[in-house]
Structure 1
Amino acid sequence: MSMRVFSKATPVTRAYIRYATTESSSQKATQAISNATNAVKSQGLTNALCNLYKTVTNPLPAKVKAPLNKAVGIFEPVLYFTEVAFHLGKQVVVRQNFKLPNKVDFAAAETELFKALEFFKVKNIKNVKDIPTEKWKRGALKTFELSTLFVLGEIVGRGNLIGYKH
C-alpha cells in the first residue's frame, strides 16, 4: 500500500446511520417498566432499587464502583427507614381513621391558637413589679413543664440517662 492512502490530506469520514425504532424495542421498554413495577411491589422499593443499582454497576471497573458503593451505602439505610416510616404511617392513618383537615378544622385551630396567645399577654404593664404573682406562677410552671419535656426528649434521644452510649 502506498502512503498516499493514509495521508492527512484525505480525511476519513464515518457514515452516520439512523436506526429506526421498531415496535419490538418499544415493547421491550414497556416490558422492562412492568417488570420493574412488579419488582417494587414484590420486593419493596429499597430492595428493588438496590438490585437495579447492582445490575447497572456490575460492568463498571472497581475504581469507579468503590466511590459509588460508599455513596449508596450512606443512602440505603435512609431510604429503607423512610420506606418503613411511610408504611407505618399508612397503617396508623388506616387504623385511626384519620382524615385530611377541612376549613372548619383550620378555623377551630386558629381560634385555639389565639386563645393560647391571649394567655401569655400581659395588659397595661409598665414595670416588671406590676405583674401579678398569679402570672409569675403560671409562667414558672409552664417553663418548668417545657424544660422537663426537653430533658426527657434528650434522654430518649440519647438512649441513656447520663451521656451517650459508645
Structure 2
Amino acid sequence: MSMRVFSKTAPVTRAYIRYASTESATQKAGQAVSSATNAVKSQGLTKALCNLYKTVTSPLPASVKGPLNKTVGIFEPILYYSEVVYHLGKQVVVRQNFTLPGKADFAAAETQLFKVLEYVKVKNIKSIKDIPVEQWKNGAIKTFELSALFVVGEVVGRQNLIGYKD
C-alpha cells in the first residue's frame, strides 16, 4: 500500500462572490407563491399537496420513503374528504342563502331549549327503573318516527330507493 503525502502548504480557498441575478428574491418568491396558488386552483388542494410531497421526497432514499409514504397515505383520504365536505358546505351555504346567527337567534334557541327541557322533565324519578312503561312506549314511538323521517329524507335526497343514480 502506498501512503499519500499531503503538502504542508495552506489549502486553496475560493473567494465567495455574489453574482447578481436577473430577478430579485421577492420576485422569485412571488412567482413561487403564484404558481402554487394556480396549482391549488387547477388541481385542488389535495392533489397539489400530493404533488408537492412527491417533489420534496424524490431525492430521499427508499429506506426513508417507505415508512413516510405509509404515514402520508393515511392522511391523503382525510385531506380529500375534508376538501369535498368544505366545497359541498360552501355550495349549500350559497344556494340556501345561509347567514351567521346573531345574538337574538341564540337567545331564541336558548329559550326553546329550556322549554323542551321543562317539557321532558319527569318528576320524582331516581333511576331508570322508575320510568313508567307508558313513557318508554312514547319514547320508542318518537324514535321510530324520527328514524323513518331520516330514511325518507335519504331516499328523497338520492332520488332513488336503493343506492345513488349512476
Tell me the TM-score range normalised by the shorter chain. 0.5 to 0.7
Mapping for residues 1-166 of structure 1, pairs under 5 Å: 5=8, 24-123=24-123, 125=124, 137-146=134-143
Task: Name the SS of the counterpart of 1:99 in structure 2.
Answer: coil
Number of equivalent positions: 144
Confirm or deny: 8 A CA contact 2:46 2:80 kept in the other structure.
yes
Letter in 2 for 1:142: G
Long gaps (5+) in structure 2: 155-166
Cα-Cα RMSD: 3.9
Provide the rounded CA distance (Å) in 1 between the counterparts of 2:43 and 2:79. Answer: 14
Provide the rounded CA distance (Å) in 1 between the counterparts of 2:74 and 2:81. Answer: 12
Q: Cα distance 1:92–1:21, how it changes in 2: closer, same or farther (>3 A)? A: farther
Long gaps (5+) in structure 1: 7-11, 157-166
Q: Deviations over 1:5-59 (max 9, x none)?
A: 49xxxxx9x99x6979976222211111111011111110001001100111111
Q: Cα distance 1:58–1:140, how it changes in 2: closer, same or farther (>3 A)? A: same
Letter in 1 for 2:56: V
Provide the rounded CA distance (Å) in 2 between the counterparts of 1:147 and 1:78. Answer: 33
Q: Cα distance 1:26–1:20, how it changes in 2: closer, same or farther (>3 A)? A: farther
1:120: Cα distance to partner? Answer: 2.1
Provide the rounded CA distance (Å) in 2 between the counterparts of 1:116 and 1:40. Answer: 47
Provide the rounded CA distance (Å) in 1 between the counterparts of 2:107 and 2:42. Answer: 43
Identity %: 57
Q: Cα distance 1:147–1:132, how it changes in 2: closer, same or farther (>3 A)? A: closer
Letter in 1 for 2:45: L
Scaled by the length of structure 2, what TM-score is found? 0.68
